[in-house]
Structure 1
Amino acid sequence: MRHFEFVVDREHAHAVNETFTGLRRMRVVALLAAGLAVAATAALLWSGQAWGYLLAIVCVLAAAIALWVALWTPHRSSIEKLYNDGALVPAVICAAEPSGIVLLALVDIAEPAAAERSWALITRKVRALPGHDPMPGERVPAVAVRTDRAPRQVGERWQLVTAMPIAWGTRDSEVIDQARGTITETEWRLLADNLALAPRVVRTATKRLMLDPQHLPPDLR
């Protein structure tokens, strides 16, 4: 797994990093859900009805799950942790629309201990991409971030992975250029050759399309 270390500009990241914003929003929703579940539990117990006690147990379980998510999110939403733990991956702009920019990224979704790599194309639509020219074909170095909430992967592959641009963590164009240069030309070329597949990836439920290992360059097999 290839990592790229740099000093994260926290002020910049808090302002533009959409991955961080999404995780923070999830924590707020989880806290609200926990509060509602606790209130419902109290009301059901107060009713004194037998069926109310059964529903109260369900509400307690729901509150426990919501609280777990709320406590888990701050650990996962550390900006430095997201960048440090994520593998450096290539992404390119495949479409620039009025509503946002669509990125196509090449990601190995196999867990580190897996015997074989599992390369996939993934897409992500973002609102803004500072530090980059919003033109199709623009090379955007990013890190792969796991977004599923399961305690571990299913089988040997991560189920939900997204790409988080390096440009969301720094204003320094030299850092972005260094990250871009760290990624092999083979990977950039593979993405460029598969830009036409982006609409197909977007139409999938998981925004992911597995690549046939037999069609990969030798150094990626």
Structure 2
Amino acid sequence: MRRFEFVVDREHAHAVNETFTGLRRLRVVALLAAGLAIAATAALLWSGQAWGYLLAFVFALGAAIALWVALWTPHRSSIEKLYQDGALVPAVVTGADQGGIVLLALVDIAEPAAPTRSWALVTRKVRTLPGHPPEPGERVPAVAVRTDHAPRQVGERWQLVTAMPIAWATRDSAVIERARGAITELEWRLLAENLELADRVRRTATKRVMLDPEHLPGELR
């Protein structure tokens, strides 16, 4: 797995990083859900009805799950950890769409110990992309981030993966350029050759399309 080390600008990341914002929103929703479930549990137990005890158990279980999500999310949403653990991947701008910018990224979704690589094209629509002109073909170095909110992958592949731009964690153009140079020209070229697949990828439920290994360069098999 190829990683990229740099100093994360936390102030900048808190302001523009949409992945972090989404995880923070998830925690708030989980805390609200836990609070409502606990209140419902208490009311049902107070009722003293036999059927209320069964429903109280269901709500208590829901509260426990929501609290687990709320407590786990801060660990997940550490900005430094997201960039430290994510593999460096290439992404390119495919165009603008309804006030956002659509990125197409090349991501290996296989777990590190898997015997073979599993390359996929994934898309992501972003609102802002500091440090990059929103022009089709613009090269955007990013890191791969899981979005399934599960403690581990299923089988030998991650189920939901997206690309998080390096530009969301630094204002330094030299860092972005260094990350861009750390990605092979072969990968950038493969993305450029598949730009027309962006719309197809976006129409899928997972925003992902697997690439046929037989059609990949030997270096990526």
- Distance in structure 2 (CA, Å) of the matches to 1:171 and 1:98: 26
Residue deviations 1:10-39 (CA, integer Å, cap 9, x gap): 000000000000000000000000000000
Which letter maps to 2:149? R
Deviation at 1:57, TM superposition (A): 0.2
- Residue 93 of structure 1 aligns to a residue whose secondary structure is strand
What stretches of structure 1 move > 6 A for 4+ residues in a row? Answer: none
- Distance in structure 2 (CA, Å) of the matches to 1:3 and 1:151: 21
Residue in 1 that maps onto 2:167:
167
Residue in 2 that maps onto 1:29:
29
Q: How is 1:82-97 mapped onto 2 (pairs within 5 angstroms)? A: 82-97=82-97
Residue in 2 that maps onto 1:43:
43
- Distance in structure 1 (CA, Å) of the matches to 2:24 and 2:98: 26
Which letter maps to 1:51? W
Percent pairwise identity:
84
Matched, 1:111 2:111: yes
Matched, 1:63 2:56: no
Matched, 1:186 2:186: yes
Deviation at 1:219, TM superposition (A): 0.4
Deviation at 1:149, TM superposition (A): 1.9
What are the ranges of 5 or more consecutive residues in structure 2 without an aligned counterpart? none
- Distance in structure 1 (CA, Å) of the matches to 2:43 and 2:98: 48
Which letter maps to 2:210? M
Which letter maps to 1:7? V
Residue deviations 1:156-210 (CA, integer Å, cap 9, x gap): 0000101000000000000000000000000000000000000000000000000
Residue in 2 that maps onto 1:75:
75
Which letter maps to 1:148? D
- Distance in structure 1 (CA, Å) of the matches to 2:61 and 2:168: 37
Query: Which stretch shows the higher mean deviation, 89-98 or 57-66?
Result: 89-98
TM-score (norm: length of structure 2): 0.99
Residue in 2 that maps onto 1:133:
133
Which letter maps to 1:27? R
- Distance in structure 2 (CA, Å) of the matches to 1:125 and 1:100: 6
* Paired residue total: 221
- Distance in structure 1 (CA, Å) of the matches to 2:56 and 2:16: 41
Residue in 1 that maps onto 2:200:
200
Which letter maps to 1:139? R
Which letter maps to 1:86? G
Deviation at 1:97, TM superposition (A): 2.9
